[in-house]
Each structure stands twice: as C-alpha cells, then as structure tokens.
Amino acid sequence: MKGPFTLFISVSILNNQLYRHIEAPGWKLRWDWQGNEIIWKMMGAETTEQGDCSKFNNVPYCCLKKPIIIDLLPGTPFNNQFTNCCKGGVLSSLMQGPGKYGSAFLMKVGGIVGSTSSNDKMHVGVPLNFSLGLSGYSCGNPFRVAPTIFYYDNGRRTKQAAATYNVTCTYSQFLSSPSPKCCVSLSAFYNDTIIPCPSCSCGCPNQVEPNCVKNREKVKEIMQVPTEALVECTRHMCPIRVHWHIKVNYKEYWRVKLTVTNMNYVKNYSQWNLVVLHPNLRSLTQVFSFNYQPLNQFGNINDTGMFYGIEFYNDILLQSGENGNVQTEMLLNKENGNFTFGGGWAFPRRISFNGDECVMPSPDDYPTLPNKAELILSSSNNTLLISFWLLLIMFF
C-alpha cells in the first residue's frame, strides 16, 4: 500500500575534536536522498538552493536530490531559530568552547513510501553520501544507534524518536593541505645561535611566488586580487611561525618564552590555540597572558597541554604586521633533579597550531650547551687572573 508521509527530522552537528575548530565560512552539510524525499520546512538552517518544484501545487522548501544545507547567521529572527543554531557554521573546539561546539536544525520532510508498515518507515528518509563541505574532512555512512530521548515538562515526561542515526566525519591534515601550515624555531639563553624553521617547511619561495610578498609596501597593491593566502617571503614560507625560547634558569624552575607570529597578510585567526607536547608540562607552575588546559589523552601521562588566548585580550591573532603576534612566558618546576638542558630535553617534542601539526627542526640542529672543557678552561683562567692580582696587591 502506497501513500504520502511526513517526518520531522532533527539534525545535530557536534565538533568532538579537542582543539580543532570549524572556521569561517563554516560547514556546508550535503547528502543524497535515496527516494523521492522533499523538504517542506526548515528551522535553524537553510538550503543554498530550492531546486525545481514546479510540479507541486504547494511549493516545498527544497526539492533537490542533493541539497546543500548551511547554518543561519547570528541575529536570525527567533521564530526561525532552533536549538544551538545560527552560528554561521562556525563551531568551537570541545576544550575551548564547551557551549559552542554544537549546532542543530529541524526539517519537515515528505515523500512516498512503498509500505505503511512501521518497519519500512524506520528506514525511510535516511540519506547517504554525507559531506561537511570542509577541506580535509571525510564522512562515513549512517549507522543506527539507540533512539534519542526528548524530555518535556521539566523532565517529568519523555518522548522517543522513531529512529536515530549517527554519521562520523574524520579529519586528515594531508587531505586538507598538500603542505604544512606552520613551523617551529628554537633558541636558548646559553647559545647565541637561533635555530630557524626548516627550509621549505610549507613550500619554497620560488614555488609560491604569486602569494609571496617581499616588500611590505606592495601588500595593499597585491591585495586588490582576492586570495586566501598572502604570506611574507621567507625561507620556510609558513603563514604561522612558533618560536620556543629557553629564557632563564633558576634553582628550582626554568622559564620559557613562547611566541606565535602570523605571517599571513590577509587572515586573522580567531580563537586560535596551540598544543604542545613536552614531558615537563606535568610540572607547569604558572602561565602568563595565555589560558592553559592540560590534555591527559593517555591516562595519567600529563605531557600535553593546550594554550589559547584570553577573551577580549589576545584571543585573535591579527594578520601580519606590527601586532601580528601573541606571546607568553611560563614557569616549569625542575622536578627534584629530573631536569636537564642537555640533549635538547628542554625543547618541545611536538607543536600544533589550530589542530595542524607544525614542522619541527631536526634534533641534530637544536641549540647545544657550551663545551664543558671551555667552561673549565674559562674558570681556570679567571682563577689564575684573580690569583695574579692578589699576589700583585700583596707585593705592593
């Protein structure tokens, strides 16, 4: 027995990534309807196109077989909003924005089914070939889970959805970009050498000449042509450079200065974050001008942490220029003798910016401690010089 049907479908998008955002212009959810489904009404989102609905007397909201759905903008009228909607498709990471990592919308969907049995209705309207419309993301097929429970009347009454399906989308940095997006440079108070980012970390200057600026004065002229990346010409060609500097050595503590520099002339980074892997982070004592959250991803192993800006102070990393950097200093405890400056131990093992791993210098290039023999020789010379002056004074 055939007949029309109408379903209300609630769709939720949750960013469960700890430190990777969904940045502007935001998600664009796509799928393929498997039957003759059409969308009659939407709340909390909209389709980019309506499609050809000329065969209907009452014009539906969208008749496309492959609709593209986008989030509504902030300030949408209340009567068209839905729970957690209207963020322009931008989702915060789970750690950085606990109340801003989800979005949802509601659809009224109609179509024709082949049977009126409840079993057939459970499987009607489940689309395939999902996509977020974001570079680097790939989605699997829907799989059925326990039905969603809805609470009413302050939790005294519950209703159950007819069926609930989940779709998991994963991110790959290699799919997102053929080259990295950031690099790391190193320095220390005990060595005059600054270890720069490895050459061609994010590309070579001769390969990306159209998007590389050698003269700051020509930036405005070049920016007349729209582009997503316009970086300063450097040996590494990365839009983001992270510098780790070992600043001071105290008796029980050591001090690090961390600087993030934006070398992109056309992009600001809102709600940026930096994830650092270092074994001494478990003894982090104080962080200045940044927020910090430990990421205990492997049980009791506390060697990874996330740094991010303070709201309304430095949570936006401005485009390249005089103010195109943010920096902090931190104090770390030496853990009762388990600390050493030798062998590059004081430098980070891994750094990520906005969820993308940065290119690190080779461990063979790390700043090294002064030669012990030179220190002994220098100490001996000073002793002899002081002794000579003492003898001279005694002689007079």
Question: How far, in Å, CA of 298 to CA of 76, rounded?
Answer: 42
Instruction: Tell me if the domain spanning 3-173 has CATH number 3.60.40.10.
Output: no
Q: Is the dihedral of CA 91, 95, 99, 105 positive or negative?
A: positive
For residue 57, name the pLDDT band (cuts at 50, 70, 90): confident
What is the structure's pLDDT at 169?
A: 95
Give the pLDDT confidence score for residue 321 in this predicted structure.
80
| pLDDT confidence bin for 265, thresholds 50/70/90 | confident
Query: In angstroms, rounded to a whole number, what is the distance separating the alpha carbons of residues 314 and 16?
Result: 24
pLDDT at 120: 41
CB neighbours of 252 closer than 8 A, spacing ≥ 6?
333, 334
Strands 350-353 and 356-357: antiparallel
Neighbour count for residue 390 (Cβ, 10 Å)? 10
Rounded mean pLDDT of 314-337? Answer: 90
How far is residue 142's CA from residue 144's CA, in Å, rounded to a whole number? 7
**Residue ranges per structural domain of the chain:** 3-173, 180-372
Q: Check: CB of residue 361 under 8 Å from CB of residue 186.
A: yes
Cα–Cα distances (Å) from 164 to 65, 125, 205, in that order, read 21, 11, 50
Residue-wise pLDDT for 238-258, tens only, equals 999 999 999 999 999 999 999
pLDDT (0 to 100) of residue 253: 93
Same topology between domain 3-173 and domain 180-372? yes
Q: Which residues pair with 9 in a beta bridge?
A: 107
Give the burial string for 85-110 (b: 16+ CB within 10 Å, else e): bbbbbbbbbbbbeeebbbbbbbbbbb
Q: Quick one: pLDDT at residue 188?
A: 95
- 168-180 pLDDT, tens digit each: 999 999 888 888 9
Q: Give the per-residue pLDDT at 119.
A: 43
> 180-372: what fold?
Immunoglobulin-like (2.60.40)
Give the pLDDT confidence of 102-152 residue by residue, as tens digits. Answer: 999 999 998 754 444 444 443 456 899 999 999 999 999 999 999 999 888
- Cβ-Cβ contacts under 8 Å for 180 (sequence gap 6 or more): 173, 201, 202, 238, 356, 357, 358, 359
